Amino acid sequence: MPPIKTALLSFGLSGKVFHAPFLQVHPGFQLAGSWERSKKIIEDVYPGVTSYPSLEAVLADDSIDLVIVNTPTATHYDYAKQALLAGKDIIVEKAFTTTVAEAVELKNLAEKLNKKISVYQNRRWDSDFKTVKKVITEGWLGELNEAEIHYERYRPELSPKPHKEIKGPGSGLLKDLGPHIIDSAISLFGFPQAIFADIRITRKDSQVDDWFDILLFYENMRVKLKGGLLVRESMPGFIVHGTKGSFLKNRTDVQETNLMAGKVPDTADWGTEPESDQGLLHTEKDGKVIREKILSLQGNYYDYYDGVYKALSGNSPMPVTVDDGINVMRIIETALQSCREKRVIDL
């Protein structure tokens, strides 16, 4: 089949760093261009593509097969719905929508129109997540009983981006960094039985939540998810304990740093972490207690797009499905309810 002609709805950080480079190196895609509101730069970066003046112009281009909704969260539902109605398959960034009801409506609309949706949860293709999943899957820790997943930063100053700091349905850390680690938890451990959440504002003059502590209840284990913007010394990104041992892994995937530096993701060693960032495994092996660093798997967001290509060109499922996106929204919505009501809520 011919390459899947793809348009972005924004050429800011996410468009430049997380999407366009992989669309360019994957032979199954053709980058058509991006909607650009003020700065017109995509044609300089990628000669031959189009800078679209409006969303209507993108959707009116019949040659475009796939639209990537990489705009602020509050716009996701509206733009995604318009793209589906225009006959496009879509990728929607996290958070998928602002409510579960919006997410379910988009799923039903896509099914009615025979179109496909994927939610962009790229952190599944980070080296840290892939390594943690391998350690768990291979049984190195025995029966799991406890885990923590952290996504924390030190950002005491308010963001200059209004959509991140003005109170609204799509703002706040829970809908910004939260979807990354919520999706990680569901991918590693399944959907939880119940949830308790504490969500706060910690920065001076902040209008939106910038700290959360979520406890997920499973039959035989508990998983804690923590995010914050006043954490100068972060905990390991992943802490997993089981009946045999423990695994600790820092959040150290190198892809984002390299992409922001303008590196092209087309080398054999792409996504390879340095030895200094390897995770610590303390467990039992062949009757002996071992405590050693574990080689990290390579990360590569290319694999996400390869999965999208296979789904759109064949009959395989999307690498991150619309149901995955709905489940993340269920956790977010229930966490907000739990915090308001100060109680554990069954899912």
pLDDT at 116: 98
% pLDDT > 70, the chain: 100
Overall number of domains in the chain: 2
- The answer to whether 111 and 117 are in contact (CB under 8 A) is no
- 10 and 158 inside one domain: no
Indicate whether 94 and 153 sit together in one domain: no
| pLDDT above 90 (res 1) | no
33-38 average pLDDT score: 94
CATH number at residue 339: 3.30.360.10
Max distance between CA atoms of the chain, in angstroms, equals 65
Last residue of a domain, one of 120, 138, 170: 120
Q: Are residues 82 and 223 in the same domain?
A: no
Would the pLDDT of 287 be above 90?
no
How much is the average pLDDT of 81-95? 98
Task: Give yes or no: residues 106 and 254 share one domain.
Answer: no
Distance between CA atoms of residues 297 and 254, nearest Å: 12
Range of the domain at 164: 123-299+331-346
Q: Tell me the per-residue pLDDT of 211-232, one tens digit each, with 9 for 90 and over.
A: 999 999 999 999 999 999 999 9
Q: Which helix (H) or strand (E) holds 50?
A: strand 50-52
Say yes or no: 109 and 134 in one domain: no
| Final residue before a domain boundary, out of 71, 93, 120 | 120
Asked if residue 325 is part of any domain, the answer here is: no
The two three-digit tokens of residue 347, written as one number: 């899912």
Q: Residues 313-334: pLDDT tens digits?
A: 998 999 999 999 999 999 999 9
CATH number at residue 92: 3.40.50.720
What number is the average pLDDT over the span 304-309? 98
Q: Specify the pLDDT at position 274.
A: 93
**288 and 177 housed in the same domain:** yes
Between CA 306 and CA 268 the distance in angstroms is 16
d(CA 271, CA 268): 9
Backbone φ and ψ for 222, nearest 5 degrees, come out as -130, 145
Looking at residues 23-38, what average pLDDT do you find? 96
What pLDDT was estimated at residue 163? 85
> pTM (2 decimals)?
0.95
Same domain, 99 and 134: no
Q: Does residue 83 have a pLDDT over 90?
A: yes
3-state helix, strand, coil in the chain (%, to 5): 35, 25, 40
Q: Are residues 229 and 166 in the same domain?
A: yes
In a domain, 310, yes or no: no
**pLDDT value for 265:** 96
| 137 and 23, same domain (yes or no) | no
Q: pLDDT tens, 251-278?
A: 988 999 999 999 999 999 999 999 999 9
Residue 305 in any domain: the answer is no
Statement to judge: residues 135 and 253 lie in one domain: yes
Residue 259 covered by a domain: yes
Is residue 170 domain-shared with residue 110, that is, in the same domain? no
Collapse the DSSP code of 296 into the 3-class scheme (helix H, G, I; strand E, B; otherwise coil) and give the result: coil
Mean confidence (pLDDT) of the chain = 96
Query: What is the rounded CA–CA span in Å between residue 181 and residue 2?
Result: 35
Answer whether residue 236 is part of any domain. yes
Shared domain for 91 and 161, answered yes or no, is no
Q: Which of 73, 88, 120 is the last residue of a domain?
A: 120
The lowest-confidence range among 66-75, 157-166, 193-202 is 157-166
Q: Categorize the per-residue pLDDT at 162 as very low, low, confident or very high, splitting at 50, 70 and 90.
A: confident
Q: What is the pLDDT of residue 86?
A: 98
In a domain, 318, yes or no: no
Is 320 within a domain?
A: no
Residue linked to tokens 């960032």: 277
Does residue 311 fall inside a structural domain?
Answer: no
